[in-house]
Structure 1
């Protein structure tokens, strides 16, 4: 993905993969994300949405904004080179640092955390819940007020996070057995006010019925010329207390082809010829 905010000369930057097609799922594999996604005893798994595509778009958006500010201050345009591969590498965050600084190879941990226990999804009687007891205080509160096991925080095998990591399997088995005795919402109610991070694993229906989603009006209705009223996820950003407006509905296939070609310098006659040839 390349763009410019003026007319600078394009820098020469050779890349052995510069002619390769960019597909999110391929880059997830090549740039390390798929290697760390999934359960430890299962094959690598892709992320549920095109996370690398989305991240690259956001990186590019930020780069364009910075370049426009630079042009305003210096009068010179900027050539921006933003690609899927490097965006995904940047998104590896602490996993990349662990390897580059400490030489620590990454692995898959499912929903669990490699160095904090308990910090993962647990099955309940009718669903799943994410629990993140990130320190000894939270662990003690979790054991005492949720599990009814005040003995666990003082057990030498679980008294510190280091020990809980060492004895991960035994502790996770104890927690799972207890949480499996009640429904998810029963546990969620018990978690209120005790200071232990937690949350349900929601499906789409639960997600859009979530009290936060309802209170924040996270969906909007857009009138589409062919489909009629279409419900969509609203833009995530607010400006001065107001959500960014949606001015246009999603385009139909090839709706803006001629506008794009015109921006690229094609005349109306050339575009019409391309259409007659079936090229567009």
Structure 2
């Protein structure tokens, strides 16, 4: 499993060298966009709308738009310095709380924690302490240039860190439109709904839930492949040396024309004839 971060988790005087691994993965079937006419994959270029030309990564700077079309430009050196100040590979557990005290809306992404060299005993100590107390640890960690709030808990004998949103990252529920303020439900309707819930209540078994759309999409793709219903994208033709040479010559010629356009020709001196030279003598 790929290691994406190395550091230490600490609580009190206990330091645990750990590795961080992504616990989940996106299984969505990625579809490419092709030009309908020639079945070539579409490319997206970075174009400056004012200069009307393609922009390279070296010509791009980062900025914060504080009002419409007003920007504070941030230099790479400034961002790197700020990142270095915050990139501490030591993560301190600052609080212990109960898992049920955190609403699921705050949870973001899961990471497995494995012990690094020399960390087995301390890893086992934290795991056992969390299991026996029924608590989870709250900590802060820097991941990909962002300071994350996270909780550390036990999942199937392995420590897991769940990154969670900060309070100001969760939108105010009061702003959700058209939510009825009061329930106006008849008792008979409510009793029927409760009865239905009781009939469908079971123990949660994650293995019985499947992504049926993804399965059907993959089956459709395999069926088309088996029936040879496939397309081959065309490659962009590469200009040969002759074409390059002609283009270079044409550009040079155009540039020369633009440079000489509008310039007045210098007056030419008339040649003195032999007869005039003889008369003067």
TM-score > 0.5 by shorter chain: no
Q: Which has the higher helix share?
A: 1
Higher relative contact order (CA 8 A, sep 6+): 2
Q: TM-score, normalised by structure 2?
A: 0.23
Q: TM-score, normalised by structure 1?
A: 0.23
Q: Which has the higher strand share?
A: 2
Larger radius of gyration between Structure 1 and Structure 2: 2
